[in-house]
Chain A
Amino acid sequence: AQKVTQAQTEISVVEKEDVTLDCVYETRDTTYYLFWYKQPPSGELVFLIRRNSFDEQNEISGRYSWNFQKSTSSFNFTITASQVVDSAVYFCALSPYTGGFKTIFGAGTRLFVKA
């Protein structure tokens, strides 16, 4: 069975602090995708990143970085020098590599960034 666990329900930081959002997953598939989506206060869901299970290179995009570790089944998301605009709910998700029929989401982590 597939499962995504985001143990942090809410995180509160002060602007310019670094923050890491944890994601741990379970799957029996040998190939799969991992994702992060952002849901700002306005409510829409925005795609941030997709990672293939066979590519464990970490990725950096501006202030965002992602650490994928297959050995610990984790796909953590770090925001460097956080800003108020980063305040949102962040969802980690998992899907099979072929088809993607069953994308499973974690419960989400609500991030508050205070000025």
Chain B
Amino acid sequence: EAQVTQNPRYLITVTGKKLTVTCSQNMNHEYMSWYRQDPGLGLRQIYYSMNVEVTDKGDVPEGYKVSRKEKRNFPLILESPSPNQTSLYFCASSSTVTGGFGANVLTFGAGSRLTVL
């Protein structure tokens, strides 16, 4: 089954304790991205990656890091979490073949709800 898998689904942590949210896709998609969802703000892009070793900032990158060492994986790292990073996080991937079937259509993971105390 084509899917994006992210873990953990739920996490409660404390300020300053480093954490990593993993994301893996099995569709051989070039493009992967992280979003955070907050009430009234919709989904805001944190970081994205066009391919292995190619990453770039989205609209709200402060406090986050990413890496893309393998095509299928795109972990999100919070080096020193703070309470304002309490949010629902989604990883997504898509094909980037211009004009192709499924191009730019995002497949999302199930979401990771993070609470930073």
Interface contact A47-B106, CB-CB below 8 Å: yes
Q: Provide the main secondary structure of the chain A interface.
A: loop
Using a CB–CB cutoff of 8 Å, the interface residues on chain A facing chain B are: 4, 6, 9, 33, 35, 37, 43-45, 47, 50, 91, 95, 97-108
A114–B108 alpha-carbon span in the complex (Å): 28
Within 8 A of A (CB), among B66-117: 88, 90, 92, 94, 96, 98-99, 103-108, 110-111
A-B contact pairs, 14 of them (CB 8 A): A6-B42, A33-B103, A43-B111, A44-B108, A47-B105, A91-B43, A95-B104, A99-B98, A101-B31, A101-B48, A102-B58, A104-B45, A105-B35, A107-B40
Interface contact A107-B111, CB-CB below 8 Å: no
Cβ-neighbour of A97 out of B45, B88, B98, B106 (below 8 A): B98
Interface contact B110-A50, CB-CB below 8 Å: no
Number of A-B contacts (CB under 8 A): 62
Interface contact B42-A105, CB-CB below 8 Å: yes
Indicate the size class of the contact surface on chain B: 20 to 34
Chain B proximity of A109: nearest CB distance (Å): 10
Residue B24 is within 8 A (CB to CB) of chain A in the complex: no
Cβ-neighbour of B40 out of A4, A9, A101, A102 (below 8 A): A9
Chain B proximity of A94: nearest CB distance (Å): 10
